[in-house]
Structures are given as C-alpha cells and as structure tokens.
Amino acid sequence: QVQLQESGPGLVKPSETLSLTCTVSGGSISSYYWSWIRQPPGKGLEWIAFINDDGGANYNPSLKSRLTISVDTSKSQFSLKLTSVTAADTAVYYCARGSFSSGFYLDYWGQGTLVTVSS
Amino acid sequence: DIQMTQSPSSLSASVGDRVTITCRASQSISNYLNWYQQKPGKAPKLLIYAASSLQSGVPSRFSGSGSGTDFTLTISSLQPEDFATYYCQQSYNTPRTFGPGTKVDTK
C-alpha cells in the first residue's frame, strides 16, 4: 500500500521560505507525478505543482515565481520550497501521487501538514 | 485558467436518498474531470476519474457522468459514511483547478 508523509516546520515567519518534504513508501517513485496541493483553513483545495521522477515539473502559474519543487529518487522523496511567504500561504499542505491514465488524477494522498505563516 | 463551479454549495439529505452534485467548467474539458470526497480533518479521497471511471475500492453507489463542460456526481443511496464535502477537479490543463466544493450534511 502506497503511503505518503509530509514533513517540515509548522510555523514560518512572513517573508521567509516554506520548505516541505514528502516521503513515499510502499511503492515505486518512478512513472508517477508527485504533487502538492494546499487548503487554507476552512476553504477549498488549490493545486500547486507536480514533478515526475526525472525532474520534469509543472507549476501553478499563480505561484510559479516563488515555487521550486524537486525530487530525490534515491530517498523516495520530493520537496517543495515556497519563498517570500505571507499569511495567505497559511494552509494545510498535502502531497499526493498523480497518475496520467485517462487524464491526470491524484490517487494517494498524505495526511496533510498545517503550515502557519506568522511572526 | 479554467474555472470550475459546483452546485449546490451545500445540501441536506437523509440516509437512503439519491444525491446529485453538478460541476461545470468554464470551457470544454472533454472528460478530464475527477471527483474527490473529503471528510473533516482528513485528506481528500479519489472517487471518480475521467468523468465516469470508478476508482478501485470505491463503492458502486458512486457514479459520475458528463463531458465537455457539464458533469454530475451521483450517490444512488446515501450512506452514513458519505456525509462529507465533494470536490471536482479538471485535469485538462494547468493549473489543475478544483471546484469550490459541495458539503453534504444530514437533514
């Protein structure tokens, strides 16, 4: 059974960089698209980006200028860095596995981690 | 960006009811439409992909239909564990936008 687990600081100061890592277990990191999605408290879902196992990435244009995602296949991990954060970046951040088969869909998700941007 | 809308934003229903949720895209997305279920404090769960394909392990009371701009998620007989928020997502292009959600609660 594929499992994903997010890790990283739960509190980030305004203007600093938010860094999260997702560790994948129970399955191969190859041939899938590893994704980040966020959800502000009490609000809906926002797709952030995905990356495949050879580093090809696709970003939400609204975040692209502040965003970097990377993958480390040797550790079965992928990561997100979001720079110059503000209170608007406060959210539960989810990592998920994306599959391209009859479209793109997210079939396995991590439990999510709350990141609060506050001084 | 493709904008996704859902109706209703919330509904109240009873166990055994047939429930229908509608999702509309701002442009044609063929059948590149997914449905997710989210319960409070939990990650979303994939129910339907490619508009009508049932994800493995999802009960057959869930079904999806539609193509182009208009899509429907139907729960044929609502069960206690189905009270949740439901989101559609287009996978036609970037960004892979989600709808605002439909909350299904108990009548």
Name the average pLDDT for chain A: 96
Query: What's the pLDDT band for A100 if we cut at 50, 70, 90?
Result: confident
The pLDDT score that the predictor gives to residue B88 is 98
Half-sphere exposure of A10 (CA within 13 A, CB side): 3
Burial of A65: CB neighbours in 10 Å, binned 0-12, 13-18, 19+: exposed
Of chain A, the percentage scoring pLDDT greater than 70 comes to: 100
- List chain A residues with CB under 8 Å of B49: 102-103, 105, 107
Q: Which of residues 55-94 of B touch A (CB under 8 A)?
A: 55, 87, 89, 91-92, 94
Q: Does residue B33 register a pLDDT over 90?
A: yes
Q: Does residue B47 register a pLDDT over 90?
A: yes
The pLDDT score that the predictor gives to residue A103 is 86
Q: Are A50 and A78 in contact (CB under 8 A)?
A: no
Tokens encoding A35: 């994704």
The pLDDT score that the predictor gives to residue B96 is 96
Q: Average pLDDT in the B73-100 region?
A: 97
Name the average pLDDT for chain B: 97
Tokens encoding B91: 């996978």
Q: Are B2 and B91 in contact (CB under 8 A)?
A: no
